[in-house]
Amino acid sequence: MWKQFLGKISRKSPKSGSGSPPQKFPPSRVANGAEAELRASPPPQASAVAAAPGAETREDVFLRKLNVCCVVFDFAAERGRDSPELERKRLVLLSLVDCVSAAEEPLTEAMISACVRMFAINLFRVFPPKLRSCGATDEDEPFFDPSWYHLQVVYELLLRFVMSPVVDVKVARKYMDNSFISRLLDLFDSDDPRERECLKTVLHRIYGKFMGNRPFIRKAVSNIFYRFVFETDHHNGIAELLEVFGSVISGFAKPLKEEHKLFLWKALIPLHKPKTVGVYLPQLTYCITQFIEKEPKLTGTVIRGLLKYWPVTNSQKEMMFLGELEEVLELTETADFQKCVVPLFRRIAQCLNSSHFQVAERALFLWNNEHLFDLISQNRQVILPIIYPALERNARWHWNQSVLNVTMNVRKMFFEMDERLLLACQTNFQEEEKKRAASEERRRLVWEHLERNAAFHPVTGDIGFAVPPTSAPLVAPTMT
C-alpha cells in the first residue's frame, strides 16, 4: 500500500544547464533542518523508485514527509511566488491527506505527535497586514491570505486527522491540549473568510470528538466574547464561533446546567452591545432561541437583556433589535410574558413614536404576528394604557403616511378587541393633554412676565459684583 501511496506523487525534475543562474528560494521558517532536506531530496517519485523494498518503514516515510512540510514559505515575497519548492510542498501535503484518509492501521504516537507539530508550525502565525491600496477604505472588501495555497491543504489534513478513526483520541489529546486549542481559537480573528470557514468546521469536529476538552473550549470562547465586547470591540470570527455554538447549544441536555445559563447571560446577551452586531446577529439570535427552546423560562432573562442594551441613537440597530424581539416573543409563553410586559411595551411605545419612519413601522408590524397578537389580546388591560398615547400621537402628528395608515389599523384592532377600554384610554389621554396644555400655558405666561420686567428695567452701565469680606479666623484669647 505504501508503494502505491509513494507512487501517487509525480513531479518533473527541473532542467539544469551550465549557463542557468543559481535557483533562488523564497524566505522560510525552518524546523529541524527540514528546509535542507526539502532542497536536497530528489522528487518524491524518484525517491520511491530509488528506495529498496523494505528500506523504510511506514512510520519513517510518514515522519520524513511531515518534516518536509514543516518548512513555511513567505508568500508575501515577490521572488518566492514562482519557486518550484512551493509546489513540491503542496504535493507532499496532498499525499499526506490521501494517506490519512485511506489509512487502515492506527497511527503511532510518534506520527500523531509529528502531525500536531506540523499543524502548529504552519497554522500558528502572526497575521499579515491587509494589502490594501491607499485609497481603499471599504471595510466590506474581503482579504485573502497569499499563503492560502498551502494553508488550505494543511486545514484539510487537520480535518481528516481529527475525523480519522485510526487516530487514538487519548494519544491525540496529549498533544492537542488546551494550549493547542487556545491558539487554534485565536486564528478565528483571521481576515481571510476562507480560513475562518475551515476553522469553523475543524472546531466543531474537535468539540465533538475530544469530549474532555469541551469545558475548556466553552470557557475559552466565552473569554473571546468578553474581550470583544468590553475591550477590543473588534473581532473577525464572532459569527463563525456563534455558528459553531448554535449546534453545541442544541445538544445541551435538559434541564440546563447553571454553567450554560451563565454563558447565556454573561457571554451571549452582552454581544448585543457592539455597534457591529449586525454582522453576527442571525447567528446570535439562533443561539438565543436555542436556549429558550431548551428552557422557556429564560425568556424573561433574554428580554431584560435586550432592553438593557437597546440602542437609542442607532435606528438601523433598533430595527434589528425589533426583529430579534419578535423571534423571541414567538417562543414566549403567557406566564413569562406577563413578567416583563410593562418595561417591554414602554420601550415599544417609544419605538412607535420614533421620528425614523422605518423604526415606527417595524414596531407597528409586531401586531401582524398571530402569537404576539394573542398575547397582547390576553393582556390588553395592561398594554393598551401604555401604548395608546403613542398611537394617538402618531395618528395626530406623525409625518409619514405609511406609519399613519398602520397606526390607524392598530387602533381599529384594539377598538374591535375592547371598545370600552379603548374609549377609557382615549378619555385619559385627553385629560392628560389638557393638563399638559395648561402647564405649558402657565410656563409661557411666566416667561412673558419675566420679559416685560426686563424691558421696563433695562440694565445699563457696568455691573459690579460685591465680594463679601472674608471673615477673620477666630483666635483664642491669650492670657498675659
Cis omega (within 30 of 0) on the bond before 14?
Answer: no
Would you state the pLDDT for residue 207?
96
Per-residue pLDDT of 111-130, as tens digits, reads 999 999 999 999 998 876 65
State the pLDDT at residue 125: 87
pLDDT of residue 460: 59
Q: Which of 33-47, 182-196, 209-223, 233-247 has the lowest mean pLDDT?
A: 33-47
Count of residues making up the chain:
480
pTM comes to 0.79
Which of the given ranges, 51-55, 132-136, 410-414, has the highest pLDDT on average? Answer: 410-414
Range picked from 2-6, 11-15, 122-126 for highest mean pLDDT: 122-126
All structural domains of the chain with their residue ranges: 1-8+25-126+146-175, 177-294, 334-441
Q: State residue 37's pLDDT score.
A: 44
CA distance 115 to 107: 10
Q: Assess whether pLDDT exceeds 90 at residue 406.
A: yes
SS3 of 451, please? helix
pLDDT confidence band for 38 (50 / 70 / 90): very low
Q: How confident is the model at residue 77 (pLDDT cuts 50, 70, 90)?
A: low
Mean pLDDT of 131-160: 74
Mean pLDDT of all residues belonging to the chain: 84
- What three-state secondary structure class fits 28? strand
Nearest to 251 by CA among 218, 202, 216: 218
Q: What secondary structure does DSSP assign to 366-389, as a single string?
A: GGG-HHHHHHHHHTHHHHHHHHHH
User: Helix (H, G, I), strand (E, B), or coil: what is residue 30?
Assistant: coil
Give the whole-angstrom CA distance, residue 4 versus residue 410: 74
Q: Where are the alpha helices (DSSP H) in 398-418?
A: 401-417
